[in-house]
Amino acid sequence: MTTTSTNLKAVIAQPKSDKERLNAAFKQLRAHKFVAKQNFLCCQTCGWAEIGAEPKDALFYHRQDTEHALKDGKLVSKLYIAHRISSEGRGLLVRAIFADNGFYAIWDGSDSSRIALVNMTPELKAISMLRTADRVCSKDGHEWGWQLQARELIKNAEKSIGVRS
Ligand SMILES: [Zn+2]
């Protein structure tokens, strides 16, 4: 027979659903002063109209995105996120927050392309570490040979997941 305490253990040990991890990521974004909304209105036009021009950093996905990407709390397709991000540093923070919650952000860093979220895999984790190393090493102005290879790997890995442009 199960007891209350073993039931409790089962609950605690249960891995978080994709949606729960997504909730955690958006909560962290808000804690870092991003306007961050999930399942927000019907489309990008209405979303941006509601958020307005004031917030420097804002991210959201709308109801059509939800319907496309989430089924029963599971990420079944890339989740596209509209955004306005004020600096490269803030963009890196966004990537890091999603990575900490088990998501890889497919994103070229530009304002014009939406961020596409997929579940993190060991390969993607390696890719995101390469991306960080590339960025850190680029700071001193010298470009090492491996960085070009790293960028090629990142490009191919993202292409293999399929990036909608
Ligand atoms: Zn709309």
For residues 89 and 114, membership in a common domain is answered with yes
3-state SS assignment for residue 84? strand
Domain assignment present for residue 26? The answer is: yes
> Is the predicted pLDDT of residue 149 greater than 70, yes or no?
yes
Distance 44 CA to ligand 1 centre (A): 6
pLDDT at residue 12, as a whole number: 67
Beta carbons of 36 and 59 less than 8 angstroms apart: yes
pLDDT at residue 136, as a whole number: 83
Distance 49 CA to ligand 1 centre (A): 9
Distance 7 CA to ligand 1 centre (A): 43
Domain assignment present for residue 22? The answer is: yes
* Nearest residue to 104 (alpha-carbon basis) of 147, 60, 157: 157
Residue 135's pLDDT band (boundaries 50, 70, 90)? confident
Distance 113 CA to ligand 1 centre (A): 19
The mean per-residue pLDDT over the stretch 138-163 comes to 82
Angstrom distance (rounded) from CA 109 to CA 153: 17
pLDDT at residue 13, as a whole number: 66
Residue 118's pLDDT band (boundaries 50, 70, 90)? very high
Domain assignment present for residue 5? The answer is: no
Number of domains in the chain: 2
Distance 50 CA to ligand 1 centre (A): 10
Task: Please state whether the predicted TM-score (pTM) of the whole model is above 0.95.
Answer: no
Distance 12 CA to ligand 1 centre (A): 39
Residue 14's pLDDT band (boundaries 50, 70, 90)? confident
Residue 165's pLDDT band (boundaries 50, 70, 90)? very low
Distance 117 CA to ligand 1 centre (A): 21
Number of neighbouring beta carbons within 10 Å of residue 33 = 11
Question: 21 vs 163, which has greater pLDDT?
Answer: 21
3-state SS assignment for residue 59? strand
For residues 113 and 126, membership in a common domain is answered with no
For residues 133 and 113, membership in a common domain is answered with no
Distance 165 CA to ligand 1 centre (A): 21
pLDDT tens digits, 24-67: 999 999 999 999 999 999 999 999 999 999 999 999 999 999 99
Maximum CA extent, the chain: 65
Domain assignment present for residue 1? The answer is: no
Q: What are phi and psi of 73, to 5 degrees?
A: 75, 5
Beta bridge pairs of residue 47: none
Q: Range of 56's domain?
A: 16-120
For residues 129 and 116, membership in a common domain is answered with no
Distance 104 CA to ligand 1 centre (A): 27
Domain assignment present for residue 10? The answer is: no
Distance 69 CA to ligand 1 centre (A): 18
